[in-house]
A = this chain, B = another copy of it.
C-alpha cells in the first residue's frame, strides 16, 4: 500500500538496510543499559551528510533532542555521526541529563574524529532515570563500524519484537539512488511519533533545505499516521542523512525526478511506519484505515487516526468482532466535517454501512476475515475528495501485561 505520491512507482524495494547506501557504516554493542541485548549503536557517514530531522511535539523533550537540534543548527544541517542508546531515555532528568547528553555527543565526536556539531544523539527507554554514564562511556569505546546493519538495528530496540529495516532504489538522472531506513518503536506511539526513532540514509545528492521539506511531508503522511496507544513521547525523532555519493544533479522540487525521489522516500517511511504499527506492544495484527470523501486530505487523515486510535476498535479487532458501530462512533468524534447520513463503512471486502444505513452482514465471514494479519477498514464520508490512511494495531492482553510491568 503506497501513499498517493508514490503512484506510478518509479522506485523498487530491494533487500538491504541503511549500510547498503553509499557512504554509510554502523555499529552496535552492549554496555549494560539493558540486561543482555545490544543497547548502544552509531551510524557513520564517510563524508559530512546533508541532514534533517523531525522531532516530537511533546512540550517535554528529552535532553538528547535538545543536543541534536543544536548540532543541526550549528552545522547548518550537516551530520556525520549519530549516536543511539536504548534502555534509558535521558528524559526528565533535569540539568544533569543535559550534561550527560552533551558528554555523549563529545565522546562520539572524539571516537569518530568529527566535530561535535556533526554528531546527533538519540536515546530511548525509561523516562526519569539518570543515564548511567560509566556504562555509556565504555559502550561508545566498544563501537566498531562495519557494513553490517543488524547490530545497529538491534541496539535501538526497546519492547520491539524485531528489527525494522527497509531499502528502496530509485533512478535519478540515470543514476541509481538508494534510500534505506531503520526504525524502532512499539509503545507510546501516537501523533507525531511517540517513542519512535527512525533513521533514513540516502546517497542522493540533495540540498538540506529540500531534504527537510521532503522529510516533513513524508513524516506527516506516514510516521504521524500511526498510533499504538495514543501517547506521544518525549524522545521521538526521525533523522535523514544524505551522503550525496550517488552523484546525481542536486535534488529539489524543480528537478524532473523530484516526484520519484519523494515517492521513494515516502515509501521507505511508510514501510517503517507500518512495521512499527504492526509491532505495537502486544499486537497480533496491523490495522490499516483508508478514508475517502473527506473535505481535505488532512481531515481524512484525522478521521483515519481517530478510528485506528479507538481502544474499542482495537479490542474489537483483537476479538475478530466486526463491530462497525465503534468505527462510526470514532468517525463522529473525530471532529471532522461530515453528514451523519452519508457514511459508508467496509471491513475488508464487506460493506457494513452504506449511506449510514446498516447492511445485513455475514458476521461469521467478517470474523473470519479479521483473522488475517492485516485488517483493512474503509470509510467514505461523501463530503469531498480528501483521502488519507492511518495504521495501528489491536489492543490485547499482552499490551496490558507489557505496560503494567515495564519497569519491573
Chain A interfacial positions (CB closer than 8 Å to B) = 57-61, 89, 91-95, 126-130, 187-188, 229-234, 309-312, 315-316, 318-319, 321, 323-326, 328-333, 338, 340, 352-353, 356-358, 395-397, 399-401, 403-408
Q: Which residue of chain B lies nearest to A358 when distances are taken between CB atoms in the complex? A: B128
State how many angstroms separate the Cβ of A168 from the closest Cβ of chain B: 32
8 Å CB contact of A312 from B95, B229, B338: B229
Flag if B188 contacts A94 (CB, 8 Å): no
**Interface pairs A-B: 4 shortest CB-CB:** A127-B325, A319-B404, A60-B332, A315-B403
Task: Provide the residues of chain B in CB contact with A408, threshold 8 Å.
Answer: 319, 321
Q: How many copies does the complex hold?
A: 2
Flag if A325 contacts B58 (CB, 8 Å): no
Q: Which residue of chain B lies nearest to A339 when distances are taken between CB atoms in the complex? A: B59
Task: Provide the residues of chain B in CB contact with A406, threshold 8 Å.
Answer: 316, 319, 321, 323
State how many angstroms separate the Cβ of A406 from the closest Cβ of chain B: 7
Flag if B60 contacts A231 (CB, 8 Å): no
Flag if B407 contacts A321 (CB, 8 Å): yes
Flag if B318 contacts A404 (CB, 8 Å): yes
Q: Which residue of chain B lies nearest to A330 when distances are taken between CB atoms in the complex? A: B231
Task: Provide the residues of chain B in CB contact with A319, threshold 8 Å.
Answer: 403-406, 408
Flag if A329 contacts B58 (CB, 8 Å): yes
Q: Which residue of chain B lies nearest to A282 when distances are taken between CB atoms in the complex? A: B400
What would be 8 A-B contacts, judged by CB atoms less than 8 Å apart? A91-B325, A92-B328, A230-B309, A234-B332, A315-B399, A319-B403, A396-B400, A397-B397
Q: Check A325/B403 contact, CB under 8 A, given A60-B331, A231-B330.
A: no
Question: What separation, in Å, do the CA atoms of A144 and B94 have in the docked complex?
Answer: 65
Query: Which among A91, A130, A397 has the highest number of chain B CB atoms within 10 Å?
Result: A397
Task: Provide the residues of chain B in CB contact with A405, threshold 8 Å.
Answer: 319, 321
Question: What separation, in Å, do the CA atoms of A275 and B276 have in the docked complex?
Answer: 37
Flag if B357 contacts A94 (CB, 8 Å): yes
Question: What separation, in Å, do the CA atoms of A95 and B404 have in the docked complex?
Answer: 45
8 Å CB contact of A332 from B58, B309, B357: B58
Question: What separation, in Å, do the CA atoms of A122 and B291 have in the docked complex?
Answer: 31
8 Å CB contact of A127 from B315, B329, B357: B329
Question: What separation, in Å, do the CA atoms of A128 and B329 have in the docked complex?
Answer: 10
Q: Which residue of chain B lies nearest to A229 when distances are taken between CB atoms in the complex? A: B311
Q: Which residue of chain B lies nearest to A311 when distances are taken between CB atoms in the complex? A: B229
Flag if A324 contacts B404 (CB, 8 Å): no
Question: What separation, in Å, do the CA atoms of A198 and B315 have in the docked complex?
Answer: 26
Task: Provide the residues of chain B in CB contact with A353, threshold 8 Å.
Answer: 92, 128
Flag if A188 contacts B329 (CB, 8 Å): yes
Question: What separation, in Å, do the CA atoms of A138 and B363 have in the docked complex?
Answer: 29
Question: What separation, in Å, do the CA atoms of A391 and B239 have in the docked complex?
Answer: 38
Task: Provide the residues of chain B in CB contact with A400, threshold 8 Å.
Answer: 315, 318, 395-397, 399-400
Flag if B94 contacts A60 (CB, 8 Å): no
Task: Provide the residues of chain B in CB contact with A94, threshold 8 Å.
Answer: 356-358
Question: What separation, in Å, do the CA atoms of A325 and B89 have in the docked complex?
Answer: 10
State how many angstroms separate the Cβ of A289 from the closest Cβ of chain B: 15
